[in-house]
Amino acid sequence: MRVVVEYESCDSNGLCMAAAPEVFEVRSDDFLYVLDEQPAPHLWSSVEAAARACPKLAITLEHE
């Protein structure tokens, strides 16, 4: 799985970080950072939840 973020759409509300803090982080500069673009399989369910939680649909998951 590969995490792709459409940063132009992201409003950095932190819902993805709440669902998968090992993968997503909104820092004090109010920008979203992807900490791991290819998360380990044990994180996939939380990353999928993060993508579903995004109100802007800015997170895409590519399955290889």
Q: Walk along the chain (64 residues) and give the pLDDT tens digit of each residue.
A: 999 999 999 999 999 999 999 999 999 999 999 999 999 999 999 999 999 999 999 999 999 7
Statement: the pTM of the whole predicted model exceeds 0.85: yes
* pLDDT value for 52: 98
Options 3.40.80.10, 3.30.70.20, 3.30.470.20, 3.40.630.30; which CATH number does 2-62 get?
Answer: 3.30.70.20
Could you state, in order of their start, the residue ranges of all structural domains in the chain? Answer: 2-62
Task: Write down the pLDDT at residue 64.
Answer: 78
Angle at 60 between CA 8 and CA 41, to 5 degrees: 135
Within 10 angstroms of residue 51's Cβ, the number of other Cβ atoms is 20
